[in-house]
Amino acid sequence: MTHPHHAPSDVLRAALAGLLDGLPARAAAQSVDRLIGHYRGRTPTGAPVLRDRSDVAAYAAYRMPATFEAMRAALGALAAARPGWTPAGHLDIGGGT
């Protein structure tokens, strides 16, 4: 839930900071390296991608801010191009996982 006086991006940053709190930087870096390897196809496809809290935190810290800003820009452009249009569901805005 967003606070009325905080920008959504600030709320996201604060949530990520809480998620990363107590996670050793080395563990997060190793998880990010493994996740990058997975995205580049160097991990068996049947293997779990997010194996533990460290992986979840690393994924969120590595991918979420850029994904958030990309979606924010895309939805802003859509709103400007189609004023009044309201998506009927998650898939209407290209939602996946």
Write out pLDDT tens, residues 66-78.
888 898 898 899 9
CB 14 within 8 A of CB 62: no
> Is residue 71, in this structure, part of any structural domain at all?
yes
> Is residue 14, in this structure, part of any structural domain at all?
yes
> Is residue 1, in this structure, part of any structural domain at all?
no
> Is residue 65, in this structure, part of any structural domain at all?
yes
**Interacting residues of 30 by C-beta distance below 8 A, sequence separation 6+:** 54
| Residues recorded for the chain | 97
Condensed to tens digits (0 to 9), the pLDDT of residues 9-22 reads 888 889 888 888 88
| pLDDT band of 93, cuts 50, 70, 90 | confident
> Is residue 46, in this structure, part of any structural domain at all?
yes
Percent of the chain with pLDDT over 90: 10
- Domain that includes residue 45, residue range: 8-83
Predicted TM-score (pTM) of the model is 0.66
CB 82 within 8 A of CB 74: no
> Is residue 62, in this structure, part of any structural domain at all?
yes
> Is residue 51, in this structure, part of any structural domain at all?
yes
